[in-house]
Amino acid sequence: MAVNLLAALDDERYGESALGRAHDAAASAGYTLRRVDGANDRLAAWIDFHFAPSWWSFEAGAGSAWVAERDGAIAGFAAFGAHGLKFPWLRRWRERADVGMFGPYGVALEHRKSGIGEALLAAALCGLREARYERALIPAVGGERLIEMYRWRAGAAVVDEFEYDVGRFRATILASGAGSNARNVLERVRDGKLPLQITAVVANKADCGALDAAREHGVAAIPVVWDRAHESRADYDARVIESVAATQPQLVLLLGWMHLLPPAFLRRFPETINLHPSYLPLDPSADEVVAPDGTVIPALRGAHALRDALRAGIPWTGATVHYVTESTDRGTVLVRVPQPVGDATTEEALRESIRPAEFVTVAAAIRRWTFER
């Protein structure tokens, strides 16, 4: 169960002098407040690292945010004024000219109980009032403690109660390898943690571990193997399309699928998302990405991202789930989780170290996809 809360912005606590008071409160606690408008790569990476797995960085980039910093490092943020969000709990509010969106909002663990959270909350609500909104919507809040905090600090009242019930969507998994990510999705579906009905696992290797995972979970296991000596690429691609079409998916999940799909596949199944083992930029056209520590690293696309990270000595890797387009690994990002390379020195060691990040990234991306339907 979650709730939407609404806070009136005509209270004097958000008046002309309120933002100055928020700056003073932040300074007294040893912080400075800085406003950012629109997408900000440094803030997005910081959010991805501290609040993984989530799509909060996308939401923050859809509006503005107040950022708290100490010694040049980000400590917390409060976003406000987002536009274009498709989540169902916003449906009755997103077209209201008098209502502005508050959130997401978070403070790094080591900076909590410092008072900076109160200053950020006040600054963001001041930002909504400055934009001439009359009320602030504080959406999708869970837990009585958090609800009470908003009631006390913002005078907010509950206006909606809802369950995150979006139904069940038919999905087909495409995989080529051992199937650890396919297995993880199948287990989460079995346990009721993902709102999917997995109709089939399609693999381009007959002995693929992903097919074993499908059989163990009572899901159709469909090998579609390319005999390169006797079949053209076009004929093989047509067989893949036919096999997937027979499962009638609403969503196609590429979880370690190592065969480049043709444009005809994407035209037939536009709702196709892919897991990629690196930290990709939110801007699909960018060739660099800002890491959580502020460093700028290459965007590692293609089939050898882990090998390339080790060879180049790049300190960050991670997991990204994005829409599939005709340009390799350049689709819109759903969820991404950064992770330090650490002491991994081999591709296999690095692959194993990011496996937990892949699991949670895929699950969060599926949830976002279902919410945006």
Q: Which of 50, 111, 276, 322 is catalytic?
A: 276
What is the token pair recorded at 20? 């100055």
What is the token pair recorded at 227? 């005999």
Length of the chain in terms of residues written: 373
Where b means 16+ CB within 10 Å and e means fewer, 58-76 reads bbbbbbbbbbbbbeeebbb
Q: Has 230 been annotated as catalytic?
A: no
| Structure-token match 């997937």, residue found | 244
> Are 72 and 89 a contacting pair, CB within 8 Å?
no
* Burial zone of 32 (CB within 10 Å; 0-12 exposed, 13-18 middle, 19+ buried): middle
Could you give the CA distance from residue 97 to residue 77 in angstroms, rounded to a whole number? 24
**Neighbour tally for 1: CB within 10 Å:** 8
Q: Return the active site residues.
A: 276
